[in-house]
Amino acid sequence: MPSSGHRLRDVEHHPLLAENDNYDSSSSSSSEADSADRVWFIRDGCGMICAVLTWLLVVYADFVVTFVMLLPSKDFWYSVVNGVIFNCLAVLALSSHLRTMLTDPGAVPKGNATKEYMESLQLKPGEVIYKCPKCCCIKPERAHHCSICKRCIRKMDHHCPWVNNCVGEKNQRFFVLFTMYVALCSVHALALCGLQFISCVRGQWTECSDFSPPVTVILLIFLCLEGLLFFTFTAVMFGTQIHSICNDETEIERLKSEKPTWERRLRWEGMKSVFGGPPSLLWMNPFVGFQFRRLQMRPRKGGPEFSV
């Protein structure tokens, strides 16, 4: 099986676990068995700060749009329509952010590189498999180790601190929705800011807002800067994600120029594999497949992730 050089080095210098290794495979298998019933969360300081900052910026934008621009407006339907649209986009953006952050991106079970597990695979003579020396797991094809999550992630695209998680096989659709809805929120906020500035200038800043003119100007300028920054970042990320999905190539694979050893799913086949099923409005819904999971405040040893 052809593979990239870094996987070959893993095999050459780090053989599979022997029977007398110190890793407790029984405790690992028991902890992984019920992982589907718990919420995934990464305990990374930088990631948690970035995630909270993302929420605060979206809430700030919603505050300015609602209380500075729409509620003081004399046009009732203008306020209602734009308020409903913007708040719906904000809820969808934050919901997509939560789904991206709290969804297992496709982590490979730790410590499964044991003799017993090897025998259960029923490998053919001469068949080569690869072991990650950092999390002691059998590394599937297209999996890469994340130094922040301390896990191997299937089809890992990249680790994003703004969602405090890796973007991988199981949560890429939510990350794409997050970037799309934030970009739409940014465009809508910028359009409303432009209209608000025109209205305030025409009315000589007397009745365009319930706040004083200097405060209104500061709030609107900061929202414009935030909207431009967020739109630029999320639009670029949305474009690169769609390009990667349509070419069935992750960002890591592109940067490392890895030659594909898998059968590529191009364009719509790739989109259907990520979003599930044929094109429909369900692709735009971040709540698809959502289930309430039991709360367990129990940290997991051996890595920064824990389940709640």
Query: 35-50, pLDDT tens digit by residue?
Result: 555 778 999 999 999 9
Q: Model pTM?
A: 0.82
Q: How far apart, in whole angstroms, are the C-alpha atoms of residue 186 and residue 182?
A: 6
Q: How far apart, in whole angstroms, are the C-alpha atoms of residue 134 and residue 132?
A: 5
Annotated catalytic residue, options 136, 152, 160, 193: 160
Specify which of 11-20, 82-91, 288-297 reaches the highest per-range mean pLDDT: 82-91
Residue 19: which pLDDT band, with cuts at 50, 70 and 90? very low
Secondary structure (H, E, C), 42-89: ECCHHHHHHHHHHHHHHHHHHHHHHHHHHCCCCCHHHHHHHHHHHHHH
Burial class (CB in 10 A: 0-12, 13-18, 19+), 307: buried
Segment 239-277, tens digit of pLDDT: 999 998 988 888 888 887 777 666 667 778 888 888 887
Identify the H or E element spanning 174. Answer: helix 172-202
Q: Is 46 in the active site? A: no
Average pLDDT score over the chain: 81
Using a pLDDT cut of 90, give the percent of the chain over it: 43
Identify the H or E element spanning 153. Answer: strand 151-154
Of 274, 273, 286, 55, residue with least CA distance to 177: 286
Average pLDDT over residues 164-188: 95
User: What pLDDT is recorded for position 25?
Assistant: 44
Q: 154 pairs with which residues across the strands?
A: 143
